[in-house]
Structure 1
């Protein structure tokens, strides 16, 4: 590829992020203006609040549009600018926010540059990859793609899965990212945004309770460098999203308790509510976290008791839409969970998943701590345990807990909450889930790292910024080296570190306002052009990347379907897990869920087990449903189809060549075309 071709790709690709920014700018402006209402004390607080408000906009806009059947690119653009204009009209008379200048020392700048290099390199590198991850294929990206194609936020039944009843705030966020870009380029790695937001929240929370800035920055970086956490930022899941919301809820609650301001309690409640509305794990963790933190505020800060009601109300209002909808449609707000004691059941509709919790046993350690890239590795786990122990023992050495500084009380309460949440997760959450479900608690435990860093200042060597920065850097390496092979990526990461350091040094050390504006503008233009180039390059290698990370057979079937597609797309009866991979290059294909049972009930809440959904089956009834649904193809993926008796559809199709023409059969993936009836 010559220089002119590269230059053309950059300019052509830059059109995408330019249009994407036109959708984001009004919401970013609105978030920044509204953040002033909360009177943040420093820039870390400001960005944490503004970032969270931006997330609320990203969730609300597609939810409202999708409920009205208007989730299109044009409607989203208009809605974003209407929302931005409305906030501007209300907030334009508010006095300008005057925050103290952020005067960072050289060691602090070096640590923040380390963060820029670490996250920036990974975000840029993974931007070349196509969307990956099983859960992203099943629903995190597939649901938004279908919603955008139909204009409506709706439940999508999938054989072998109960995803249609899951909380959906994460998918709404991905829907906004996809409708505003017209592609999944930004959505597929958008957990990096939430990881960065979690860093700002951790730093702002540590500063709010009284930790020194170096300790606070260290705590924020521990969140980003924890191996199992940043490893999952490269996939369009919702584990980091949930962890960030939970962290925001606790941080804003303790900030509100310190200052006794109702606005912070409302934000905290919204954070807990968003955690519950994003993932069932969040629903399990957020209420006890809120109750435990609220109890601490009730007893330690009596003046804030009235504001706690605002926090609880905000959490309930924020989370409730997902579960009210479940109650109306499925007859159980928490479907598929069985809620009851013994034989007594509160809600009659549930699924018996045969997935007991891990429990309080040695198996839990082996499950979460091992050499797998989606788990905590041993040094990282021990480091987090040290942080947690330091937080829990901070009060030792004083006769009365109430005499300790506020930061010690806050850290002890956080440590106790983590222990309680871990006990609940081990006892309740199904073992069928993956070890990455520890991510929210790992993020909370990482924040406890501020406690030992603060204690190190008792020693003269660590009172200097350089000594403390060296310790933090060493601990960051210990936390991250198993999930990121530094000998392979180290040189490129150092380059990003140097660029990030130069930008930060020039911006924060320059006394010229014009120069700072120039640095910010130049950085923005570079990121715009760079994103455009990476988008163009990723499109060119997308097919080979999918072949490598999914399978060559999947990619071959995808291309066969693209060649067969009509202007209106194809209707495909699909039995597998990679839904998103087969919606077509323009998202025009419709993937159908065709029941095989004689009853024909398509929804999981009509049954009490997956077996009831499959057995006994009726070929004649199933075939008639295929014809009625207008199916063009039947696609069966035995490698990923989780339903009981996964060969039912395949065996029926093989036994009836008069109805089904086999077009592809390899690597457990079989594609049939339905013969057209005269």
Structure 2
């Protein structure tokens, strides 16, 4: 996976300039991370999610000695039925000393892995090394990402496993016969889908592309395809199977209906509450659009604005390319996938439960859109060289602007 990083460091002529650029881009974030690390080291978990169900779930496992047991109380309701892959890390961090002392620190190494993964994805897309450095820093300069450092929110792990699945999907596209890439893709996607219920709809796009790659490439390997699908099941299915055993519904507490018939019974009245809590269900009002714009700006700042603008530019770029045929077919496919993926995950976000009822808090559901949108920016800038100077200027300004917010409200 880190061949791309070795290539960056081994490049004789540009190594110094690239390293200096990397230091300039990431140094402010590293300073913020150190501050957050020492705060987290001496602070108990305080977030609502951690107190309501993450820590109680892990405590239940510790007390009973089984992850089959489901924590339940009147305040949390059926939240402990949610997929809990990342909660296993909390459990493992608490087992040696039966204490949550290290639990706030788990997210810090995940930020490093996320940054490296985005850089590698960028290189695989043919994005230049300099632009890739900027793109891999984009999420770190968005408050919605960085504010999770020193907390026990699961979203950084969620988006890391999503990004890893994209990287290994690229490797599968390069070599469909090599089964190790398919297995790694499946393991990453399974971890992603087993961390949140949102992983089920969000995982449809990479899973569908994975299957299509194997079915329509000349060099087919059904063994590699089967290995990848089994790997998804291996790391992503446990909590759904546990729910099925305990409640008769794999995605309890959500009720599942088909053609007016109830297939799986859910928690009383929760389905109505869920379906009415999304942005899509409420966005017909101008006031809601204003609320959304304000919340999105607060949690993503200028980098998020650039991501939104890139969707429009990408649509224009692809339309012109189809007419004038100025780019190669592989590049056109990549541009189209990035555009469709960005729009798809934006739609998933506004359709997500609680994306409106907890508006600013749940901008985190837009993380896959923000990652793909950032990659989309990098690809556009690489292919449209006239945009590069503007990209460097606006990105630098966006980072500086975001830093003000991140230091004021760390």
Cα distance in 1 for residues equivalent to 2:7 and 2:36: 25
What residue in structure 2 maps to residue 247 of structure 1?
163
Match of 1:359 in 2: 280
Structure 1 segment 4-403 matched on structure 2, within 5 A: 40-43=2-5, 103-105=15-17, 106-153=20-67, 154-160=69-75, 161-180=77-96, 182-260=98-176, 261-291=178-208, 293-294=209-210, 297=213, 301-303=217-219, 306=222, 307-341=224-258, 343-353=260-270, 354-355=272-273, 356=276, 357-359=278-280, 361-362=283-284, 365-366=289-290, 368-371=292-295, 376=299, 379-399=302-322
Aligned to 1:439: 367
CA gap 1:206/1:379 in 2 versus in 1, 3 angstroms: closer
Q: CA deviation at 1:220?
A: 0.9
How far apart, CA to CA, are the structure 1 residues paired with 2:348 and 2:312? Answer: 19
Deviation per CA, 1:134-177, whole angstroms, max 9, x where unpaired?
10111222322342344332211121421221101011011122
Assess, with a 3 A threshold, how the Cα gap between structure 1 residues 169 and 422 changes in structure 2: closer, same or farther: same
2:183 & 2:161 partners in 1: Cα distance? Answer: 13
Deviates more, 1:194-203 or 1:107-116: 107-116
Q: 1:608 — aligned with what?
A: none
**CA deviation digits over 1:69-94, x for unaligned, max 9?**
xxxxxxxxxxxxxxxxxxxxxxxxxx
Query: For residue 399 of structure 2, what is the aligned residue in structure 1?
Result: 476
CA distance in 2, matches of 1:162, 1:427: 21
Say whether the 8 Å CA contact 1:226–1:446 is kept in structure 2: no
- 1:446/1:132 CA distance change after superposition, 3 Å: farther
Alpha-carbon distance between aligned partners in 2 of 1:366 and 1:232, rounded to the nearest angstrom: 25
The 1:351/1:476 distance shift into structure 2, 3 A limit, reads farther
Q: Residues 166 and 280 of structure 1 are in contact (CA less than 8 Å); yes or no, is this contact kept in structure 2?
A: yes
Cα drift, residue 259 of structure 1: 3.8
Seen in structure 2, the aligned counterparts of structure 1 residues 399 and 381 have a Cα distance that, compared at 3 Å, is closer
Q: CA deviation at 1:241?
A: 1.7
Contact persistence 2:341–2:372 (CA under 8 A): no
Aligned partner of residue 345 in structure 1, secondary structure: strand
Aligned with residue 415 of structure 1, among 327, 339, 344: 339
Query: Displacement of 1:369 after TM fit?
Result: 3.4
Q: CA deviation at 1:222?
A: 0.3
Write the deviation string for residues 9-58 of structure 1: whole angstroms up to 9, x where unpaired.
xxxxxxxxxxxxxxxxxxxxxxxxxxxxxx75234799xxxxxxxxxxxx
Distance (whole Å) between structure 2 residues aligned to residue 231 and residue 45 of structure 1: 32
* SS of residue in 2 equivalent to 1:236: coil
Query: Separation in 2 of the partners of 1:370 and 1:111?
Result: 26
Greater share of helix = 2
Farther-moved stretch of structure 1 (449-458 vs 325-334)? 449-458
Partner residue, 1:602: none
The secondary structure found in structure 2 opposite 1:346 is strand
Hey, what does 2:328 align to over in structure 1?
Answer: 404
Deviations 1:509-556 (A, max 9, x none): xxxxxxxxxxxxxxxxxxxxxxxxxxxxxxxxxxxxxxxxxxxxxxxx
For each residue in 1:274-304, what CA deviation from the matched residue of structure 2 results, as whole angstroms up to 9, or x when unmatched?
111111122231124422x336636885546
Decide whether aligned partners of structure 1 residues 251 and 324 sit closer, same or farther in structure 2, where only a CA change above 3 A counts: same
Contact 1:198 1:244 survives alignment (8 Å): yes
Output the CA distance in 1 between the equivalents of 2:218 and 2:402: 39
TM-aligned CA deviation for residue 390 of structure 1: 4.1
Give the counterpart of 1:451 among 369, 379, 383: 379
The number of residues matched between the two structures is 390
Once superposed, what is the RMSD of the aligned Cα atoms? Answer: 3.5
Distance 2:42 2:384 in 1: 41
Alpha-carbon distance in 2 for matches of 1:206, 1:193: 20
Structure 1 CA distance for aligned equivalents of residues 81 and 10 of structure 2: 46
Distance 2:296 2:321 in 1: 42
Matched-pair contact (CA < 8 Å) for 1:272–1:315: yes
User: How far apart in 1 are the matches of 2:114 and 2:332?
Assistant: 21
Deviation per residue, 1:298-355 (Å, 9 max, x gap): 6885546744444333223321111111111110001011111353111134432132
Counterpart Cα distance in 1 of 2:127 and 2:305: 23
Q: Describe the superposition over 1:596-615 as per-residue Cα deviations: whole angstroms up to 9, x where unpaired.
A: xxxxxxxxxxxxxxxxxxxx
> Partners in 2 of 1:178 and 1:267 — Cα distance?
28
Distance 1:365 1:309 in 2: 44
Give the match for residue 29 of structure 1. Answer: none
Does the CA contact (< 8 Å) of 1:338 and 1:352 recur in 2? no
Instruction: For residue 398 of structure 1, give the secondary structure of its aligned residue in structure 2.
Output: helix
1:232-265 residue CA offsets vs partner (Å, 9 max, x unmatched): 2332111222122112212220232124332222
CA distance in 2, matches of 1:324, 1:402: 50
Alignment gaps of 5+ in structure 1: 1-38, 47-98, 490-678
2-structure distance, mates of 1:482, 1:233:
15
Residue aligned with 1:370, SS? helix
- Bigger CA radius of gyration: 1
TM-score under structure 1 length normalisation:
0.51
Query: How far off is 1:200 after superposition?
Result: 1.1
DSSP-derived class of the 1:482 partner: helix
